Copies of this chain bind each other. A is one copy, B any other.
Amino acid sequence: MAQLKPHTPLRPPTMADVARQAGVSHQTVSRVLGDHPNVRNETRARVLHAIEEMGYRRNSSARALATRRTLTLGVVASNTTLYGPASTLFALEEAARAEGYLVSTVSLRELTVETVSEALHRLSEGGVEGVIALAPQRPAVEALTELRHPFPVVAVGTGSGVEIPSVNVDQRLGARLATGHLLATGHRTVWHLAGPENWQEAVDRADGWRATLEEAGVTPPAPLRGDWSPLSGYRAGQELAGWVGRGLTAVFVANDQMALGVLWALREAGVRTPQDVAVVGFDDIPESEFFAPPLTTVRQDFSAVGKRSIALLLDLIEGRTPAGTSRIVIEPQLLVRASTFPYAPRPGTAPG
């Protein structure tokens, strides 16, 4: 059949076009692009020149079809404007890129079985080889475990009590560090402003706090509850201010943003931090060093979370790790700042 197909400028050039231009076979072009060893230098140069000249780009779909590899990973996330999720997302993408993968993200407004299933479905249609699910809420985990997917999934932030591979910062340990620090600096008990009940991290932080108090022989006061926002922290702070002078000298707040609201409410009520009430947060957002006063908090190594998650996912994709077993736990770190120290109780408020 006659080769009557001149290269239409409308169609981007194909490998065959480049081959013709360079006077070789398309396979040789493929070899050059694939850095195959057995290509004569002169041939390689000729091919590269043709590629450059024609502005040729390898068609990723054809490549993916032939190799059965898309080199793309999916991420399902929510609350991506919050510091924690945003940092994790960043770390994940960077780690994936270092391994030669591209990342497609689906950012949900809320995590329900429906939205997560839908997101997984879209990513599947997008041809991802595996998915990282930033799934800090229960319903998301349900969706992950109940659904049939054609690719491995790694859960992040679910807590390690789930039956799929997961990567987590040890939230309980973080809460223990925070609570323990407060007890160690002279406080008789520690109050807690928790995060939303449906967040596993909130539950774990509350558990760590409770356990630490109980081990110290202290009956934990009833925890307050917020929604991670500064506003909810502010409201809780107003309530907490009412307990000052009646045994409240220290508060462990489940994240820095709420802690900001708490600090604000306390100051408004004439309560001094840390002299009257010490406050500890969680996350170490960049601003927390500049709160009034600078906030003692718990830092999570998001970069490590990203790297370990990607490494685990790739292990699963390559079949190097059997599914269902791996649970990676990363240790957080306490940062002591002025919101807890120096603690200088005034007479009457003193825990001693």
For A87, the closest partner residue in chain B by CB is: B81
| A61-B61, A125-B60 known; A89-B80 Cβ under 8 A | yes
Greatest chain B CB density within 10 A among A86, A89, A148, A267 is at A86
Task: List B contacts of A57 (CB < 8 A).
Answer: 124-125, 150
Task: List B contacts of A287 (CB < 8 A).
Answer: 230, 257, 260, 287
Task: List B contacts of A142 (CB < 8 A).
Answer: none
Chain B nearest CB: distance from A80 CB in Å? 5
| A70-B61, A267-B292 known; A103-B102 Cβ under 8 A | no
> Quick check: is A217 within 8 A (CB to CB) of the other chain?
no
For A262, the closest partner residue in chain B by CB is: B290
For A258, the closest partner residue in chain B by CB is: B290
Number of interface residues of A (CB under 8 A): 53
Name the one of B93, B94, B103, B127 contacting A60, with C-beta atoms under 8 angstroms: B127
Task: List B contacts of A86 (CB < 8 A).
Answer: 80-81, 86
Check A90 against B94 for contact (C-beta < 8 Å). Answer: no
Task: List B contacts of A83 (CB < 8 A).
Answer: 81
Name the one of B109, B125, B229 contacting A286, with C-beta atoms under 8 angstroms: B229
Name the one of B58, B97, B122, B292 contacting A102, with C-beta atoms under 8 angstroms: B122
Name the one of B65, B127, B148, B289 contacting A231, with C-beta atoms under 8 angstroms: B289
Check B65 against A286 for contact (C-beta < 8 Å). Answer: no
For A83, the closest partner residue in chain B by CB is: B81
Cβ contacts A to B, 8 pairs, < 8 Å: A61-B61, A61-B70, A80-B86, A90-B107, A97-B106, A97-B122, A103-B104, A267-B292
Closest 5 CB pairs of A and B: A60-B127, A61-B64, A230-B290, A61-B65, A102-B126
